[in-house]
Amino acid sequence: MSDTPAVGTDLPVMGARIIEGPAERERIRTVVVAQPDHIAVLVAERICDTIRETVEARGRCVLGLATGSTPLGIYRELIRRHLAGEVDFSQVTTFNLDEYYPMHPDSLHSYRRFMEENLFQYVNLPPDHANVPDGTVARGDLAACCEEYEQAIADAGGIDFQILGIGRSGHIGFNEPGSPRGSRTRLITLDTITRKDAASDFFGEDNVPTEAITMGIASILDAREIALIATGEHKAPIVRRAVEEESSADVTASYLQQHPAATVWLDAAAAGELTRIRTPWVLSEVEWTPALTERATVWLAERTGTPLLKLSPTDYRENHLGGLLARHGPAGAINGEVFNALNDKVRGKSKLPHGTSVLVFSPHPDDDVISMGGILRKLWENENEIVVAYMTSGNIAVFDHDVRRHMDFVERAAADLELDPKRVRRARLRLEKDFAGKEPGEPDTDLAQDLKRYIRESEAVAAIAAVGLPRSAARFMDLPFYRTGEVRKRPIGEEDVEQVLSLLKEVKPDQIFVAGDLSDPHGTHRMCKQAIDEALLRYRGSAPEVWLYRGAWQEWTITEADVLVPLSQEELRAKIFAIFKHQSQKDVAPFPGGYDDREFWQRVRSRNLETAAAADRLGLPEYYAMEAYRIEKETGTPD
C-alpha cells in the first residue's frame, strides 16, 4: 500500500486533511477526512496507482467494485482521470460484489445497469472484462453459476483492489449478519434493515427483492487490498462496531480486521462515534481548546446525571478528565465557563435579526418548515425580508395516488373553473394509462412529473403561510441536477451554481440558511449545499452570515450548535401544523429514510423537545422546545 501522509498533514488534493487513529482502539487501519469528496479523490488515486503498478508487473489489473451512493464519487473521479489521460482501463478486469435476484440487467435497479451508467460507458474497459453476478439465472442453476463466478476471479489472477461499502446491519457485499468467515459467492436472503434502506430506490419496501447474489466473506478477504468507505452519521454506530469491537459474524465488516491491507475511509460524520472522535480524552492527553472543554464537560454532566454547575472535582477525576482539571481547574471555574458559553447560545426573538434580508435555501419543498418552522415565524415577526428558495421540485417524492386525487378534484371542478371537461378527462385517462404501465421506480412522463411538482409547490406555499409568511416569499428554483425523474441525480453543474448565484445577487441577503444535514439518504442536501458553497465563492456582494440547519433526519447537539432558539408550546404546535400542509409527505412518505420509521412531524416534535430537555438537564433555563443551528464563519467551515 502507498504511504499515507502523517496525522494532520495537508494533502495535495482539495486541501484535505486526513487523520489516522490510535491502534489500541481501532482494529483496522482507519482514515478520517472532512468531506466525502476527499475520500473519492484519495481512493481513486490509490486505484490508479494499483492499475499502473499491476499492469506493469503482470500485464493486467483486477478490481472489485461496489454499487450504491458511496462509491459514486470514486467512479466520477476515475472517469475524470481517464478522460485526462491519467489512467488506462484496457488491461483492467472488474468483478462486482453483488446483484439482486431475480434482476434483469436492463432494469432500473440492476447493478449491471448502475455500473454501465456510472463508470463502464465512460472508460475504455473492454465489455467482456466487466463481470456482474447474473440475476437472470434459473434458480436451479444458481449454485453452478456462483462457482463459475468464483472460478472467473481465480482465473483472472484474483482481485488486486476491492471497494466496499457498509450497510447499517454491518454487511459488506450482501453478507448479512451471521454470514460465516469462509463463505463464497452464493444466494442470500436480505436482512430487513437492508431492504428498508433500499426501499426508496425501489419506491417502496414491498418492491425490494428479498434475495441477492453476493461474493462471500472469503471471496472479499482474498483481495490483495481493500478499501471500505462510509459516509454520513447514520453509518457512525455500525462503523464503530466494525472498527473497535472484536470481529464477529454479527457485523460482517468486522472480518476486515483479519486482512493485512484493509483500510476504512470515513468522512467526519461517519467517524463521529469512534472513541478518538467522540471522547478522545479517554485515550490520552488532549489539547484542551474551548470547544473540546465544552464537549467534555457536557459529556461528563450527561454521564453522571449532574447539572453543569454541580459537577465536582471527583466527577472529573473518576471519568478520565483529571487532565482538564490540572490544566484549567478548579472544577467550579470550568463549570461556570461552560455554563455561560452554553447559555449565550440561547437566542429568543429579541436576540434574532431585525430588519435584515434573509434567504432560506430549502433542498426539498418541506425542509424549511421541518427544520426551521419556529425561527421562520420569529424572523418574519422581526420584520425581516424573507425569501424561501426551494432548490428542487421534490416531484419524485409524490405518490401516483396523490396525482389521482388532485386530478379527480380538477375533473369535478372543471365546469366551475371554466375548463373543458372533456380535455381534463382525456388528460386524466392518459395519466391513468401511464401509471398502469410504469414499473416501480421508472421515471414518470413529463406530464406526471409536472403535476407532482405543482403539488409540492402548492403545499410549500400553504406551509409558509401557516408560519405567517406571504405566498410571495416562495421561489421555486427547480435546479437541473434534480430533473432526472429518478432517485439518482446528476452531479452539480454550472447551470445549478449560476441559478443560485443569480438569486444571491438579486436578494443580496444579510443572512442565509442552508441545510447542513449529513444524513440525507440520497445526498440531495449535500448536493444543494455544494451548489450554494460554489455560488458563494463567486458572489461579490457583502458576505452573508451562513446558518446551518438540519434536515428531517438528525439535529445538532447542544455542543455542536452555535444558536439555540427556544419555542413555546404554541410555536411548536404551529410548526407541526405547517408540516401537516405537506400532505403528499404525510402518513407514509416515499423517502422517509430507512433508519427512522416515524413521520417527519413526529421526528421534529421529539427532536425539538429533546434539545430543550437536554439543556434543562444541564441546568440551563427550562424551555418547552428548541431548534438548533450552526454558524459558518467561512464557506464550508462551521464556527
- Average pLDDT of the residues in 181-208: 86
Closest CA to 392 of 292, 275, 296, 532: 532
β pairing state of 18-20 and 29-33: antiparallel
What is the number of other CB atoms lying within 10 angstroms of the CB of residue 260?
A: 10
- Angle among Cα 37, 39, 42 to the nearest 5 degrees reads 110
The predicted structure's pLDDT at residue 20:
56
Active site positions, annotated = 176
Helices 111-118 and 72-83, packing angle to 10 deg = 40
pLDDT > 90 fraction of the chain, expressed in percent and rounded:
81
- Average pLDDT of the residues in 446-473: 97
The predicted structure's pLDDT at residue 551:
67
Write out the H or E segment, with its range, that includes residue 338. Answer: helix 331-343
H runs (alpha helix) in 279-328: 290-304, 313-317, 322-328
CATH of domain 30-276: 3.40.50.1360
Assign residue 162 a region: left if phi > 0, alpha if psi is -120 to 50, beta otherwise?
beta
In tens, the pLDDT along 37-67 reads 899 999 999 999 999 999 999 999 999 999 9
Lookup result for grid cell 369535478 = 412
In tens, the pLDDT along 523-577 reads 889 899 999 999 999 999 999 999 999 867 788 999 999 999 999 999 999 999 9
Q: Which three cell numbers stand for residue 273?
A: 462515534
18 or 100, higher pLDDT: 100
Residue 230, strand partner residues:
266
- Average pLDDT of the residues in 612-616: 98
Rounded CA separation 482/333 (Å): 52
Rounded CA separation 34/4 (Å): 16
Write out the H or E segment, with its range, that includes residue 95. Answer: strand 92-96
Class of domain 349-399+444-638 as given by CATH: alpha beta
DSSP string, 549-570: E--SS----TTT-SEEEEE-HH
- Average pLDDT of the residues in 600-614: 95
Could you tell me the pLDDT band of residue 518, with boundaries at 50, 70 and 90? low
The predicted structure's pLDDT at residue 2:
35
Rounded CA separation 294/256 (Å): 35
Rounded CA separation 539/505 (Å): 7
Could you tell me the pLDDT band of residue 637, with boundaries at 50, 70 and 90? very low
- Average pLDDT of the residues in 587-607: 77
Rounded CA separation 246/27 (Å): 8
Residue pair 3/231 in contact by the 8 Å Cβ criterion: no
Residue pair 272/278 in contact by the 8 Å Cβ criterion: yes
Query: What is the chain's mean pLDDT, rounded?
Result: 92
DSSP string, 125-191: --GGGEE---TTS-GGGHHHHHHHHHHHHHHTT--SEEEE---TT--BTTB-TT--TT--SEEEEPP
12 or 554, higher pLDDT: 554
Rounded CA separation 232/79 (Å): 24
- What's the distance, Cα to Cα, between the start and end of the chain in Å? 36
Shared fold status for 30-276 and 349-399+444-638? yes
Residue pair 315/306 in contact by the 8 Å Cβ criterion: yes
Q: Note the Cα 506 to chain centre separation in Å.
A: 30
| Identity of residue 132 | V
| Domain map (residue ranges) of the chain | 30-276, 286-343, 349-399+444-638
Lookup result for grid cell 473497535 = 244
In tens, the pLDDT along 281-330 reads 999 899 999 999 999 999 999 999 999 999 999 999 999 999 999 999 89
Could you tell me the pLDDT band of residue 13, with boundaries at 50, 70 and 90? very low
Q: Which three cell numbers stand for residue 70?
A: 458511496
The predicted structure's pLDDT at residue 12:
38
Q: What are phi and psi of 417, to 5 degrees?
A: -90, 5
What is the pTM for the complete model shown?
0.86
Write out the H or E segment, with its range, that includes residue 263. Answer: strand 262-267
Residue 566, strand partner residues:
626
